[in-house]
Structure 1
Amino acid sequence: MVFWIIIAGLALGVAAILGLTLIRGRVGDAPPAAYDLRVYRDQLKEVDRDLARGVISAEDAERVRTEVSRRVLSADAQLQAGGESGGQPRGVTAAMAGILAILVGGGALLLYSQLGAPGYPDLPLEARIAASDQARATRLDQAAAEDAANLPPAEVNPQATPEFMALMEKLRQTVESRPGDVQGLRLLARNEAALGNLAAAHKAQARLIEQLGAEATANDYALRADLMINAAAGYVSSDAEAVLRAALQRDPTQPTARYYLGLYLIQVDRPDGAFRTWEQLLQDSQPDAPWVPPIRTQLETVAQMAGVKYQLPPVETLAGPSAGDIEAAGDMSEQDQAEMIRGMVQRLSERLATDGGSPAEWARLIGAYGVLGETGRAAEIWYEAQQVFEGNSGALDEIRPAAVSAGVAE
């Protein structure tokens, strides 16, 4: 409230100063016409000095005196008619002063509504960082987060037949009797999740990771974090954060972990970090990736919270022909088919060469050359992709199946 009082006082003060200036019709101790008279009289004296020095002729001096004298008479008449107010029309001046006050006050409110955050208290950067650190330090663990979420018991999947439920019971008993059975633990985690038993699912996944030891992948950790966060109704607990960090330590490009890390950063009031994480993930992802819609829904808001001017890029579709595109050309003549397919492939190839693209687009280009039978060109694109995505194991793993299908990789 104090902020609004100060802003309103400043706006009214500025508007009052400008309005009084308009109403007075002058600046300083004298009306404008009085200043004009002083200037014209100085000009007459200057003409006499220039004539005495021989700078101008007598005829020019007389002509200038006549013009300046005319202006002196006009200014004197204006001074006599206007008096101390300067001759400004009172009604129009008062109206202009009122309009000016509205513009100053209204403009300030409009500007603040666009650039400010009405209703929010003052949040200095140092205080926000301290609050974020406190939020991290007091984060609930997984058990407390699940208790706080208080989710209702999971309903039995209507597609789960009695036979399936009987098999699930046998699977649980088998895993209990054989705790080192990696395949059994993997099946148990997946099927518990399918039944909606998320707490049981993430516990089974934790046991699986423990059994795998150093062989546990980033995807294994990301799945566990996904199950934990959903079991807590979207809350990223301190335990879930540790699992996310473990996944990203093994593969910094793991998309599920990157998405949930951004969510965690929002929850601990670090929208700057969340924006950087999600923006890069959006750039690296295929348009149909499951995390893309929630990111696109929230990213502009997150950017605004972070103080970043950002506009979502348009939704892109993967360019270039797929195997389905090529099959759809079956009704065309061979020449038309070749022209259409090669044109699409060429456009995609040129765009990737100049602007780059996602791993899915590189895979599509390699696959297209493989379908066309241009194995040599597919091999060249596969080699180029390995140079572009060097060190990015996730991207190369996404492209490799297309190269294998094209016969240029093993």
Structure 2
Amino acid sequence: MLFWVIAALLTLGASLAVLLPLATGRRLALSSRDHDLAVYRDQLAELDRDGARGLIKPAEATEARAEIARRILRLDSADQAGDASPGRAPAVARLVATAAVLIVPLVSWGLYSQLGSPDLPSQPLSERLAKNPADSSVDELVARAEAHLAANPSVGRGWDVLAPVYLRMQRFSDAAGAYRNAIRLDGDSAVRQAGLGEAIAGAAGGIVSADAQDAFEAALKLDPANAKASFYLAVALAQEGRGKEAAAAWQAMLARLPPDSPWRSAVGQALAKAASPEVAAGGTNGPDAAAVDAASAMSPADRQAMIGTMVAGLDGKLRQNPRDPEGWMRLVRSYVVLGKTDQARDALGRAISVFGTGSEEARKFTAFAASLGLTATE
């Protein structure tokens, strides 16, 4: 009931704000005409006084009176023109405007009564956080956990629960912080260290950095069978250009995994990619659409790792050892396949500059890039 009372008062206020100017418009116009007429009469009286005292010449006084008379006549003519059609046009306009102002709230109220939920009780955040967790959304559960940890930051269990949720939501930086808090408060575990490594890699766009490798290695020390840590350490080998070692690590991991492990699919896809003829021969094939589609069943961080790690690792390797023509062509093709045209063009320019613009390698790079629809920049 209170809702309808407030809504009615607001509607009434808005309607009056529009209707009152429409109702008083004519009176304001008349008041303005009377004011102008009084001013002209005062001017005529002042002119008569100046003429009587000899302050103005008779000819100038006559001309001034004529000008004031013309202004009064124009004022009267305008008023008569406004009354010539008994105010029909303004009256119609005011009628239409009034009808519109009245119809809009009636229609909106009618629609709301059918489509809205005026009787639904308010749901402040505190009440939503206090309701049964089974009836809460993921965002509400996360908000509840964050509120609890803000008040109790030393509860390691809370960070331990929240960290993997952050990871699934791809909030990688938050996940890394939560895992670190859980480790600091509740100690090391293989699951926490592996989760920390995955969060660090996810925050870096799938690159298994030194910090991520340290976390994965710590996880394996605690649990040599930890699949996540084993997989990512093999990815790190692939990033460093050690493809054969990465394939061997994945093969050994696949032999240890139980038949129902969700990691079997990811490892099989990685091995299939590593065993492709072009990759094994050092050819020009990089991550392609098939690899991207094959990674769709993986977690977001795993998928990013599968798509981007080899490219980033190859780029870093070429920066350290740039005289590798086949490596440069692999890098250019990989960036093109991933849709990163600017990075592909930059890699092409770097490759040409390494060997010289007039070299046989530079001509080979240019022809190869042209076959991919890429041209070198100046």
- Alignment TM-score, normalising by the size of structure 1: 0.33
Q: Which of the pair has more CA radius of gyration?
A: 2
- Alignment TM-score, normalising by the size of structure 2: 0.35
